[in-house]
Amino acid sequence: MLTEVISEFAIHILDTTGYAGAAFLMGLESMVFPVPSEAVMPFVGFLVADGKWGLFEAILATSIGSFLGSYLSYLMGYYGGRPFVLSVGKYLLLDKHDLEMTERFFHRRGGALTLFLSRFIPVVRHLVSIPAGIGKMRFWPFALATTLGATMWNSFLLYCGFKLRENWSMVQTYRHHFDALIVGMLVVSIAWYVWYKLKRRRAASAE
């Protein structure tokens, strides 16, 4: 069963590294590394549902990780500026066009509320701390909006994983459907990624 293998592997990694490992992964997720929170937090919920991790400790650790990752991105933008971010970001899989899109999104709206809402938007939430730093946003509004948004998003995904674990017998009953869904999502994700990169390459060549 594919879902069983994936879940057991993810749980093993998190169970082995503990709260520090989860915080580290969420720190990467809040920077420019391709570590989606959707692939981490639900399995944190699994461990909470199994009674291996405490709910408060899990949320605290992952929220701290999210904030620290965001803060490092903020500092990169604040002290290094856009040229520095782009020069370093190419080694961290930073997509220049995604950064430009995030900058337009942030500067068009701006403020702590925009930063808070950005934590719920794919792609944008990984990068929005950079334009906040470049724009010299004050630290405390940045810290408050980032921490609240990240904690709410992490908690939501943890809850989803918690409920999924509680109903794991149902997942096993319909395991073939879940396996097919996962395979389908992987195929679509790979196809989208290849199309996206080819589109970016053609755009760069045209420029």
Domain layout of the chain by residue ranges: 2-167, 174-207
Query: What would the pLDDT profile of 81-139 be if each residue is shown by its tens digit?
Result: 777 777 776 666 666 777 777 777 777 766 788 889 888 988 788 888 988 888 889 99
Q: What is the pTM of this model?
A: 0.76
Token pair listed for 47: 């461990």
Q: What is the mean pLDDT of residues 157-180?
A: 68
Confidence of residue 145 (pLDDT cuts 50, 70, 90): very high
Q: What share of the chain is helix, strand, coil (3-state, %, to 5)?
A: 85, 0, 15
- Among 45, 36, 27, which residue's Cα sits nearest to residue 159? 45
**Distances, alpha carbon 41 to alpha carbons 50, 66, 137, 160, 180, in Å:** 14, 12, 28, 9, 22
Phi-psi region of 205 (alpha: psi -120 to 50; beta: other; left: phi over 0): alpha
- Among 196, 185, 187, 193, which residue's Cα sits nearest to residue 38? 185
Q: What is the mean pLDDT of residues 146-153?
A: 95
**Distances, alpha carbon 134 to alpha carbons 43, 66, 82, 146, 167, in Å:** 34, 19, 7, 16, 45
Query: What would the pLDDT profile of 37-84 be if each residue is shown by its tens digit?
Result: 888 888 899 899 999 999 999 999 999 999 999 999 999 888 887 777
Token pair listed for 11: 């749980």
The better pLDDT of the pair 168, 57 is held by 57
Token pair listed for 81: 């500026």
Q: Which range in 29-43, 45-59, 192-206 is most confidently predicted, on average pLDDT? A: 45-59
Residue 182 has a pLDDT of 46
pLDDT at residue 1 above 80?
A: no
Q: What integer best gives the mean pLDDT of the chain?
A: 79
CA atoms within 13 A on the CB side of 71: 12
